[in-house]
Amino acid sequence: MLDPKSAPNVEFLTETAAARELEYLSREIAHHDAAYHTQDAPEIPDAGYDALRRRNSAIEARFPGLIRADSPSNRIGGAPENGFSKRRHRVPMLSLDNAFDATEFDEFCARAKRFLGRTEPLGLVAEPKIDGLSINLTYEHGRFTYGATRGDGTEGEDVTANLRTMKSVPGKLHGEAPALIEIRGEVFMTKADFLALNQSQADAGAKIFANPRNAAAGSLRQLDVRITAGRPLSLFAYAQGESSEPVAETHWEYLQRLRNWGFDVNPLSRQLRSETGAEAFQNEIGLARSGLGYDIDGVVYKIDDLALQRRLGFAGRTPRWATAWKFPAEQATTVLREIRIQVGRTGALTPVAELEPINVGGVLVARATLHNEDEIARKDIRGGDTVVLQRAGDVIPQIVSVVLEQRPENSTPYTFPDTCPACGSHAVRPPGEVVKRCTGGLICSAQVVERLIHFVSRTAFDIDGLGEKTIQEFYDEGWLHSPADLFKLPGREAEIATRKGWKEVSARNLSRAINARRTISLERFIYALGIRRIGESNAKLLARHYGSFANWRTQMRAAQQIGSEERSELGSISGIGSTIAEELTDFFDEPRNVTTLDETAAQLTIQDAARAESANSPVAGKTVVFTGTLETLTRPEAKARAESLGAKVTDSVSKKTDIVVVGTDAGSKARKAAELGVRTMTEAEWRELVG
């Protein structure tokens, strides 16, 4: 990703480079908008997102001729998703411009004054900018009739039923109310509620939210309103949309009316007589920030006089009468004790920084993710380093940089391990990928439960009565270390029958289900091993090609040798490319995988690959290559037909090839066949041969 901080100065951009970058930024920002607004799963911190938008605006300001039709400056938020019906806002819900320092804030005030042609101080209202999601509530004759999320600013999702579950959304406004009014505010979750929710989500094995904002959004946008009802959501009201009659003359007065109607209004909001008071307020809230019960990311300053607001109106997607003065991301420095490697359930090795615990913006942080090997190398992060941590709305902070002046003298660059810390198997990183993975899937304690669940799943061994919970239970008991142990469970039948939740009958049924699967087809067996990229169809290809377990095993062992005939044969099986071949050789490269494979196979009868139709076919067992353009068959059809007759179809011609079927415009393969003296035939001859 482009890092706007290190990107070339906008002043030095050529027009071509600017156009290219605007295109990139449009795509990138749209992607992050969707991740944030539609999937509630942001991939970058808010500060990074803001930087992208600022870069985009800066380039557009210098090259107005290059502003794109799909410019992010003309877009807000994410479009509504399926599931909720859509609800149009009577007055669009727009967004706010940002200021990042006093100079930018002063520019905002100067612009507004210029626009109004006035020199007197601006009366303002300052409100903490809550990091939640904005919501539009419609009240008709004082009754709450419907409510919607912001969505794309024009229409959002109708979440009326969900909003009705919230205590802070009054069903009826107290006192006098206009015939129709749209009231806007921010739905959020307090830090304490967020932590408690994540704890109970973790206990239930459910989704963990990255930050309070995502938790609030995820909780509000539940199709099952009972789930929302159980979630601790809060609301601060702060703005108005459509109104059938004026309800106030100043924004401050409007906030009073909101309070009287029964809404919560942020108690830290303040009326400022002049813009000169803003900086002090900004500092005051900045200091209070980490101690607040909820996340804020800045202060919103609004011109108090509503008549002036109307005169100022909007420029594009933002009002001229308000700005959000953002805080810098919360940062702190601490010492990184060590880099530890976590092994995920799929074998991915993830580096984690163990830190001297430190308070960053009100959250005690003892750990930070380092993402992957390249990230550590790029930032040259080492054990013992003093590092700058940043928390921008997220609970899991990022390491921004290393304080090099404080690096210990004896420090050495970090080397990412080549073996799995959980099981000692070797770890590999396929070319072009960023993640290093443990190859000991079947025996690695971090992965074994996941692998066993796959092993017994319906499309693999299909063992009835062995669900996720039971596997975890038997694993915790120490009975299951590898798939071979599954077949030892019938030997524990009596013991199982006495366990909580089990009876003699259920234990007997489990033994039966396991024993019934001691005979298994080769393709299911290969698939059950859970080797990366070997799904059902690749397992089938391998089974058909190698025929028997013994042959497959021998060939795979031999294929370890780069340049061996077995290796090139594997890579040339139609449908199996070099990437898949490498996953297989990585698996067989780990001796403990082979031991486990053999132990498991010893418990089973593995049937040779099905060749029912093929027994007396003239091409059974033959290795066939199709080359050139076929006239009456598509390539996949030809291949499928050949395989169903027991032939092996490969992509390249070798001594082992029996038949080359030559279509039109055939090239080197036909020549090679002639050179090697391999039998060739036309498409018509092939059709005749196979009927």
Q: How far is the CB of 319 from ligand IVH (least distance, A)?
A: 5
Residue range at the interface with ligand IVH (CB under 6 A); choices 12-20, 282-290, 317-325, 438-446: 317-325
Phi/psi at 128 (5° precision): -55, 140
Residues 166 and 235 sit within 8 Å (Cβ to Cβ)? yes
Nearer to ligand IVH, 271 or 457 (CB): 271
Label residue 415 exposed, middle or buried (CB < 10 Å: 0-12, 13-18, 19+). exposed
Q: How far is the CB of 397 from ligand IVH (least distance, A)?
A: 22
Bridge partner residues of 625 (DSSP):
650, 660
Pair type for strands 318-319 and 270-272: unpaired
- For tokens 């019934």, the residue is 516
Site string for ligand IVH, 428-457 (x = CB under 6 A): ------------------------------
- For tokens 């380039």, the residue is 59
- Residue 521 binds to ligand IVH (criterion: CB under 6 A): no
Does residue 129 have an active-site annotation? yes
Residues 219 and 198 sit within 8 Å (Cβ to Cβ)? no
Residues 337 and 161 sit within 8 Å (Cβ to Cβ)? no
- Residue 126 binds to ligand IVH (criterion: CB under 6 A): no
- Residue 239 binds to ligand IVH (criterion: CB under 6 A): yes
Other beta carbons within 10 angstroms of residue 251's beta carbon come to 24
**270: three-class secondary structure by DSSP:** strand
Total residues binding ligand IVH (CB under 6 A): 14
CA dihedral 267, 273, 274, 277 (to 10 degrees): -40
CA distance 231 to 346: 31
Nearer to ligand IVH, 49 or 461 (CB): 49
Q: How far is the CB of 51 from ligand IVH (least distance, A)?
A: 16
Site string for ligand IVH, 366-385 (x = CB under 6 A): --------------------
Residue range at the interface with ligand IVH (CB under 6 A); choices 124-132, 375-383, 504-512, 541-549: 124-132
- Residue 639 binds to ligand IVH (criterion: CB under 6 A): no
Nearer to ligand IVH, 308 or 443 (CB): 308
- Residue 568 binds to ligand IVH (criterion: CB under 6 A): no
Residues 646 and 658 sit within 8 Å (Cβ to Cβ)? no
Nearer to ligand IVH, 127 or 450 (CB): 127
CA distance 364 to 319: 37
Task: Please list every residue from 270 through 309 that binds ligand IVH, using CB under 6 A.
Answer: 300
Catalytic option among 113, 129, 540, 622: 129
- Residue 129 binds to ligand IVH (criterion: CB under 6 A): yes
Q: How far is the CB of 486 from ligand IVH (least distance, A)?
A: 52
Give the residue, chosen from 33, 60, 127, 193, that forms a contact with ligand IVH under the rule CB under 6 A: 127
Give the residue, chosen from 26, 56, 134, 160, that forms a contact with ligand IVH under the rule CB under 6 A: 134
Q: How far is the CB of 197 from ligand IVH (least distance, A)?
A: 21
Concatenate the DSSP letters of all residues of 550-602 into one string: HHHHHHHHHTTSTT-HHHHHHHHBTT--HHHHHHHHHHHHSHHHHHHHHHHHH
Q: How far is the CB of 129 from ligand IVH (least distance, A)?
A: 4
Q: How far is the CB of 227 from ligand IVH (least distance, A)?
A: 23
Name the closest residue to ligand IVH (Cβ). Answer: 134
Site string for ligand IVH, 179-198 (x = CB under 6 A): -------x------------
Task: Please list every residue from 319 through 348 that binds ligand IVH, using CB under 6 A.
Answer: 319, 322, 324
Residue range at the interface with ligand IVH (CB under 6 A); choices 101-109, 126-134, 351-359, 679-687: 126-134
Nearer to ligand IVH, 130 or 438 (CB): 130
Sign, CA dihedral 194-195-201-204, equals negative
Nearer to ligand IVH, 324 or 438 (CB): 324
Task: Please list every residue from 74 through 103 that binds ligand IVH, using CB under 6 A.
Answer: 94-96
Nearer to ligand IVH, 239 or 471 (CB): 239
- Residue 238 binds to ligand IVH (criterion: CB under 6 A): yes
The contacts of residue 191 (CB under 8 Å, 6+ apart) are 212, 293, 294, 295, 362, 363
Residues 352 and 390 sit within 8 Å (Cβ to Cβ)? no
b/e per residue 4-36 (b: at least 16 CB within 10 A): beeeeebeebeeeebbebbeebbebbeebbebb
Length of the chain as a residue count: 691
Q: How far is the CB of 303 from ligand IVH (least distance, A)?
A: 12
Nearer to ligand IVH, 134 or 160 (CB): 134
Tokens describing residue 265: 């209004």
Tokens describing residue 534: 């070997």
Q: How far is the CB of 45 from ligand IVH (least distance, A)?
A: 16
Label residue 63 exposed, middle or buried (CB < 10 Å: 0-12, 13-18, 19+). middle
Residues 279 and 191 sit within 8 Å (Cβ to Cβ)? no
Residue range at the interface with ligand IVH (CB under 6 A); choices 99-107, 316-324, 487-495, 672-680: 316-324
Nearer to ligand IVH, 53 or 426 (CB): 53
Binding site for ligand IVH (CB under 6 A): 94-96, 127, 129-130, 134, 186, 238-239, 300, 319, 322, 324
Q: Return the active site residues.
A: 129
